[in-house]
Amino acid sequence: ISTVGEKEWYFFCMRGRKYRNSIRPNRVTGSGFWKATGIDRPIYSAAAATGGANHECLGLKKSLVYYVGSAGKGTKTDWMMHEFRLPTGAGQSATTPRSINNTDKSLQEA
């Protein structure tokens, strides 16, 4: 979902893998790459956020910054992205890679 002129855009896509038998995500684009700037931050249910008894982790959030160029030689930009994902065990193990087929959708530069 995006609207021209807005500063916040939302995209939903499958997260590709850097290597076939690895859990490491591929964050390379046609002219740069996204670099993680911190650790996964848990997102808790409303009950946990208000001090309730239910401390269920609903998902994880990671902050990323976009660099132009190749890894090691890239130039940092002002672009920032928050990646949201389900926690391990919410439908898939982090240690068991799944196959990615040609029907998966991905983001590409316009």
Q: How many domains does the chain have?
A: 1
Please tell me the distance from the alpha carbon of residue 38 to that of residue 82, in angstroms, as a whole number.
11
Q: Is residue 107 part of a domain?
A: no
For the chain, the residue count is: 110
CATH code, domain with 56? 2.170.150.80
State the DSSP string of 47-98.
HHHTT-S---EEEEEEEEEEEESSTTT-EEEEEEEEEEEPPTTSSS-TTS--
Domain assignment present for 25: yes
Residue 49: pLDDT band (50, 70, 90) is: low
What six digits make up the tokens of 8?
């916040």
For residues 41-67, average pLDDT:
80
Better-predicted residue by pLDDT, 13 or 105: 13
User: Is 100 among the domain residues?
Assistant: no
- Tokens in use for 31? 């002219």
Is pTM, for the whole model, over 0.85?
no
| 26 domain residue, yes or no | yes
Domain that holds residue 41: 1-87
pLDDT in tens, 77-97: 999 989 888 887 655 544 444
pLDDT of res. 46: 78
pLDDT value at position 59?
92
Q: Which two tokens stand for residue 99?
A: 């196959």
Radius of gyration from C-alpha coordinates of the chain: 16
